[in-house]
């Protein structure tokens, strides 16, 4: 009975600790690509954002991270964003081509941090305008997913303005990203075959590859913008 009572107390403590707001938390370890530590996004919404960011990564190697936290105490959102960016190495090591979208729900603050290699494309003024026009209106009414989706799309539009070597010719499902239909059809066929052969286990494995991988070792240039919603 003593053991049972102690076990119940232990479980209650763990549940309470996991549901309590995080104050002064450590810098989180984040993965490719969307990271919701609060629970404002659904699984399908996270999967969609992962897929979009994965397409960008494959297109030109730019890495876009999305991180949602309760708060950024005691550092403040600017230092917190810089540390999340650098300690997780967002962007490729030799290019510093990462972008971080950080949202603090309790503080009603956002920041977009830009890697040094992309500051020529995403200057502070442009990033600020993207955040104010696409992120703030939705976050202000609690619609996190649409705000993040349109912000990601706007950033991708800026990051993929250079024409492809073959001049394009595919369907642009997101601004500037071109899909080769022959390669897409082959990839789908291989994916379906793998899913059937493994009785669905391949679906879980591929999901883990997309969402649990690490970023490429890039660093922040300190540029970007922040705002309140």
Q: What is the DSSP string of 157-194?
A: HHHT-SPPTT---SEEEETTEEE-HHHHHHHHHHHHHH
For residue 48, what are its two tokens?
Answer: 């969609």
pLDDT for res 115: 97
Give the C-alpha separation, 211 to 51, whole Å.
9
pLDDT band at 205 (very low <50, low <70, confident <90, very high): very low
In CATH terms, is domain 22-228 a member of 3.30.465.10?
no
Higher pLDDT, 99 or 193: 99
Listed by start position, the domains of the chain span 22-228
Spell out the SS3 assignment of 105-124.
Answer: CCCCEEEEEEEHHHCCCCCH
- Sign of the CA dihedral 40, 129, 118, 221? negative
Assess whether pLDDT exceeds 60 at residue 186. no
pLDDT band at 23 (very low <50, low <70, confident <90, very high): very low
From 2-6, 103-107, 195-199, the region with the lowest mean pLDDT: 2-6
Assess whether pLDDT exceeds 70 at residue 176. no
Nearest CA-CA partner of 99 in 47, 144, 152, 163? 152
Helices in the chain by DSSP H: which ranges? 2-19, 43-60, 77-88, 124-130, 136-139, 144-159, 181-197, 201-212
Assess whether pLDDT exceeds 70 at residue 121. yes
pLDDT for res 164: 46
Give the C-alpha separation, 10 to 1, whole Å.
14
Rg (CA), the chain: 20
73-119 pLDDT per residue, tens: 999 999 999 999 999 999 999 999 999 999 999 999 999 999 999 99
């Amino acid at each position: 009975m003593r053991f049972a009572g102690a076990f119940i107390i232990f479980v209650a403590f763990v549940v309470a600790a996991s549901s309590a707001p995080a104050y002064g938390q450590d810098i989180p370890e984040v993965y490719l690509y969307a990271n919701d530590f609060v629970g404002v996004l659904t699984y399908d919404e996270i999967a969609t954002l992962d897929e979009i960011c994965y397409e960008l990564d494959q297109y030109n190697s730019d890495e876009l991270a999305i991180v949602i936290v309760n708060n950024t105490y005691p550092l403040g959102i600017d230092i917190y964003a810089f540390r999340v960016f650098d300690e997780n190495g967002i962007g490729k090591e030799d290019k510093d081509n990462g972008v971080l979208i950080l949202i603090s729900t309790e503080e009603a603050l956002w920041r977009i941090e830009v890697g040094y290699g992309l500051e020529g494309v995403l200057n502070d003024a442009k990033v600020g305008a993207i955040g104010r026009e696409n992120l703030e209106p939705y976050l202000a009414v609690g619609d996190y997913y649409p705000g993040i989706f349109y912000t990601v799309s706007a950033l991708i539009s800026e990051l993929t303005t250079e024409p492809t070597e073959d001049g394009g010719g595919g369907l642009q499902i997101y601004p500037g990203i071109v899909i080769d239909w022959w390669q897409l059809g082959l990839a789908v066929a291989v994916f379906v075959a793998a899913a059937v052969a493994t009785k669905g286990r391949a679906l879980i494995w591929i999901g883990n590859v997309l969402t649990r991988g690490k970023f490429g070792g890039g660093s922040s240039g300190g540029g970007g913008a922040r705002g309140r919603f």
